[in-house]
Structure 1
Amino acid sequence: MELKDRNKLRSKSIPATVTAASRAPVLLALKENAIRKRRICVYLKCIFAAIGMIFMVLEGELFISKTIEKNTLQSDALKMLITISTAILIVFIIVQYGYQRKIERFSGRSRRLRCCGGIIIEIFVCIIHPYPGSGKIPKPLQTMSKESADLTRDFVYLDAYLSLFMVFRFYLVGQFLSEWLASKLYSNRTLAKHLAYLTKVRLNSSFMIKYLLYLYPFQFVITILCLVLVVNSFAMQTCESYTFPGSEMSSFLNSLWLVMITFLTIGYGDFYPVSFCGRCVSAATGFLGIGITGFVFSVFVHHFEMNRNEKYLLKFSKEEKRKHKRRVAAANVIKCYYRAARCKEEKAKYLIWKEKFWRAASEMRRSAKKYGSSSDIDLIDIQQMIQSVEKRQNEILSILSELGKSVKSDQNANTAEVIDIAL
């Protein structure tokens, strides 16, 4: 009895086999939960990245305006806040990729190498920031000018280059837009994934950028232009002011003006970068200006391009205009021929209408040559119409002659009857 009871207990402890059909809703719910948590991680990443960049810009502007100095408590406190926000950002990057691994495991895919490469690149891009303490490096080789000859500081604070590397955090804007638009665009994300798999469309940041460019072309282009100008102006100001403090390029407005004329490939020469870093930023701005200018023109051309209905309307109006001109020319030929045929007995009028006929015929040939051949009116049709008009004219004349003969015969008969009655 003890052995039977033990077997009964063991059989009750063994779980029932779970089929794939009963497991699918559970996996789908877990996947949707992981997608929602990954989206929250992306939002928090963008928030803490923005906080770190705000503190970086604040510390740099205070130093450029000589309100604070390096190796002071205020500067180190701002850099400590940047470090704390960066550490939180790194934590959310790791958590996001953890949820990404869960999503891929629920989907039955394995992209471990890709995930590892992505997390390493993101951590490397985001971990570079101005740290507490003012590191210094020797000033790189500069081409000195008259304006920078009096600026004889032999070192450059390392914070300048570390601040420039923080600009690369703008890639998070693409992730933010991708997640936000995905949450707004897809009511059923699983169905959208299946449709994307069937149509071989990748639902990534590139697709979302194309989606924004398709819906809001002007707003998207203006936003990109403003972002490029502001970021490059900040980079130019940072390079010039840290390398040669007190120069004209320490002003943000002067840096913005230099970036704008470089972006438009004008180059007045009133301002120019002196530092090696500033010249690199200027060269990058020139290349961006060439590419984005062509992109802007293509957007405007595509936006003002006629759609299919407008093209059909234009084609229809041109076709009707062409047909009208050819019909008018053909009608003039018929009219002149008919008037010349009626005026054969009067030689002067006949010559006038004959000349008008050949002029109308030449005008019809020119219109046929200019507007192309058409199936509605052709020279053969004109000849057939003229022959039908001549035939109808002959029929009318014959009928009139018969009517005249019958009238004369009736008059003769009536006169004969009158004479008989009178006699």
Structure 2
Amino acid sequence: MGLNVDKDVKIRHRLRCKSIPAKVPNKIPNSVILGFKTNAIRKRRLCIYLKCIFGAIGIVFMVVEGELFISRTVEKGTFASNALKSVISISTAILLIFIILQHKYQRKIERYFNRPRKWRWCVEMIIEILVCIVHPFPGSMKIPKPLQTMSKESSELTRDFVYLDGYLSLFMIFRFYLFGQLISELLSSKLFSNRTLAKHLAGLTSVRLNSAFILKYLLFRYPFKFVISILLIVLITNSYAMQTCESYTFPGSEMTSFLNSLWLVMITFLTIGYGDFYPVSFCGRCVSASTGFLGIGITGFIFSVFVHQFEMTRDEKYLLKFSKEVKRKHERRIAASNVIKCFYMATKCKREKPKYHVWKVKFWKAVTSMRRSAKKCRDHHDIDLIDIQRTVQDIEKRQNEILNILCHLRDNRTTDENSNTSL
């Protein structure tokens, strides 16, 4: 008679659950859990660093292979071209491995912080893999020429096919998000001496320590440097995209020069359009249109940064307000003294009718000016009362936020204690 091991184990587990309670393990110290979290954050940071290194290797070799082909030094399908693209493929494979490891450690971190987001984690990993997996493969793959806008100048330069590597190289530009992750990780490690405690505080205050938070910090701390960096990145990447589109579709044209492509992108970015250079290929026109939209948006962004930088600070506003208040009080004193002076001179010259009428007119003018100054002072005090009321409302709002944070802290502490006891 054979033994059914699985059935025997299930029966024993059922009997044990009904009769004998399960033994509760000892409580895990908070220092051990904190060490697990710190270790997972350190490994995730290492994966981000290695991701950026291998992503940069792929971009560098892609640019080198493309420039050699544009300058007609190396042809597609040769040993040198295949060797360069093989290095790109190897670096891409290693990059995908580190992407999977990073999201694995990210899921551990979220589980440690009691914030599991399985679906979001899967979607982010799939999108990142799809963005990074596109690269020029070894070989000389060709596709039929897509829709083009022909011209007399480009009719002699055209051909019936286009190498697929040109379009795959354009998609590799999206790997620049890896450098954003690297900068975000470096700044977060610089800003927060203890990243785990900062994560706890961010969870209590509903603040996410992600790339958007780091971008806001850079814009707040270094506005001009941040705007100039974004501007340079947009100009260089769009110039390379324009050069690649035009040179792969119409080799030998004027747009194969990077300087000409940079000039075309700059005048399109500034919405000038001299017409000395213009894109002929459909891909180049798409790049030019995107450059125009980016130019409109970034120009408005630059003006908003300049306006924000030249706003008056709080101390300057208080100084201006104090000087205006002193000026109003001085005008009111002068108006009051003019009223007394005119009344005295009118009573003194009451027997002389011409002088009496002159001082009487001056007296009523002084009364009118004194009323105006008094009205200005009253309006100014009303504004002060409104400011005080707003300040009191802000204090009450901050007090309520602090009480909510304390309630969240107490709830999280009880949930951590319950989870530790259940472990």
- The two structures have a TM-score, normalised by structure 1, of 0.79
**Worse-matched range after superposition: 42-51 or 307-316:** 307-316
Matches within 5 A, 1:260-409: 260-364=266-370, 371=376, 373=378
In structure 2, the CA distance between the partners of 1:375 and 1:88, relative to structure 1 (3 Å rule), is: closer
**Which residue in the other structure is 1:104 paired with?**
110
**CA distance in 2: counterparts of 1:254 and 1:375, whole angstroms:** 60
Structure 2 unpaired stretches of 5+: 1-22, 382-423
Which residue of structure 2 lines up, in the alignment, with residue 246 of structure 1?
Answer: 252
Deviation, 1:201, is 0.8
What's the offset of the Cα at 1:352?
A: 3.9
Structure 2 residue corresponding to 1:225, chosen from 231, 247, 258: 231
Q: How many angstroms apart in 2 are the aligned matches of 1:268 and 1:99?
A: 52
Q: Which amino acid aligns with 1:107?
A: F
The residue identity in structure 2 corresponding to 1:19 is N
Alpha-carbon deviations, 1:167-207, whole Å to 9, x = none? 01011122112211221111222221221122111111111
- Retained in 1: the 8 A contact 2:158–2:249? no
- Give the match for residue 20 of structure 1: 27
Q: Which amino acid aligns with 1:51?
A: I
Following TM superposition, by how much is the alpha carbon of 1:215 offset from its aligned partner in structure 2, in angstroms? 0.9
How far residue 115 of structure 1 moved from its aligned partner, in angstroms, is 2.3
How far residue 99 of structure 1 moved from its aligned partner, in angstroms, is: 1.8
**Which entry has the higher C-alpha Rg, 1 or 2?**
1
1-side partners of 2:72 and 2:154: how far apart? 19
- Segment drifting more, 258-267 vs 339-348: 339-348
Q: CA deviation at 1:364?
A: 4.1
The residue type equivalent to 1:74 in the other structure is A
Q: Answer yes or no: is 1:195 the counterpart of 2:201.
A: yes
String of CA shifts for 1:223-248, please: whole Å, max 9, x gaps: 11110111111101110111111111
1:61 correspondence with 2:67: yes
Whole-angstrom distance in 2 between the partners of 1:51 and 1:86: 9
Equivalent runs, 1:141-160 vs 2, <5 Å: 141-160=147-166
Q: Of 128, 143, 158, which aligns to 1:137?
A: 143
| Alignment pair present for 1:86 and 2:92 | yes
Cα distance in 1 for residues equivalent to 2:288 and 2:136: 23
* Alpha-carbon distance in 2 for matches of 1:159, 1:375: 69
- Whole-Å Cα distance in 1 between the matches of residues 367 and 188 of structure 2? 67
When structure 1 is superposed on structure 2, of 102-111 and 89-98 the one drifting more is: 102-111
Structure 1 distance, partners of 2:240, 2:350, is 91
Give me the whole-angstrom Cα distance separating, in 2, the residues matched to 1:25 and 1:354: 87
Q: Distance in 1 between matches of 2:336 and 2:118?
A: 78
Percent identity between matched residues is 72
CA deviations on 1:118-147 (whole Å, 9 max, x unpaired) are: 222111111111111111111112111122
Query: Which consecutive unaligned segments of at least 5 residues does structure 1 have?
Result: 1-15, 377-423
Q: Secondary structure at the match of 1:20?
A: coil
Matched with 1:406 is none
Equivalences, count: 359
Distance apart, 1:362 and its partner CA: 4.5
TM-score (norm 2): 0.79
Higher relative contact order (CA 8 A, sep 6+): 2
Deviations 1:239-279 (A, max 9, x none): 01111111111111111111111112222222111100011
One-letter amino acid of the counterpart of residue 32, structure 2: V
What is the rounded CA distance, in whole Å, between the counterparts of 1:105 and 1:194 in structure 2?
13
Residue of structure 2 in register with 1:70 after alignment? 76
The RMSD of aligned alpha carbons is 2.1
1:65 shift after superposition: 1.6
Residue 311 of structure 1 deviates from its aligned partner by 1.6
Q: Please report how far the alpha carbon of residue 358 of structure 1 lies from its aligned counterpart in structure 2 after TM superposition.
A: 3.7
Deviates more, 1:232-241 or 1:102-111: 102-111
Structure-1 separation of matches of 2:160 and 2:380: 85
- Specify which of 250, 257, 261 is matched with residue 263 of structure 2: 257
One-letter identity of the residue aligned with 2:61: F
Letter in 1 for 2:69: F
What is the Cα deviation at residue 57 of structure 1? 0.9
2-side partners of 1:92 and 1:121: how far apart? 14
CA contact (8 A) 2:37 2:196 kept: no
Is 2:226 the partner of 1:214? no
Measure how far apart 1:97 and its partner are: 1.8
Deviation at 1:21, TM superposition (A): 4.2
**C-alpha spacing 1:298/1:342, structure 2 compared with 1 (3 Å):** same
The Cα of 1:107 is off from its aligned counterpart by 3.3
CA distance in 1: counterparts of 2:28 and 2:143, whole angstroms: 64
Separation in 2, partners of 1:198, 1:353? 72
- From the superposition, tell whether residues 340 and 191 of structure 1 become closer, same or farther in structure 2 (CA, over 3 Å): same
Shift of residue 294, structure 1, vs aligned partner: 1.5
Q: State how far apart, in whole Å, the 2-side matches of 1:299 and 1:210 are.
A: 12
Distance across 2 between alignment mates of 1:175 and 1:344: 87
| C-alpha separation in 2, matches of 1:20 and 1:107 | 17
What residue is the counterpart of 1:34 in the other structure? 40
- 2:143 aligns to what SS in structure 1? strand
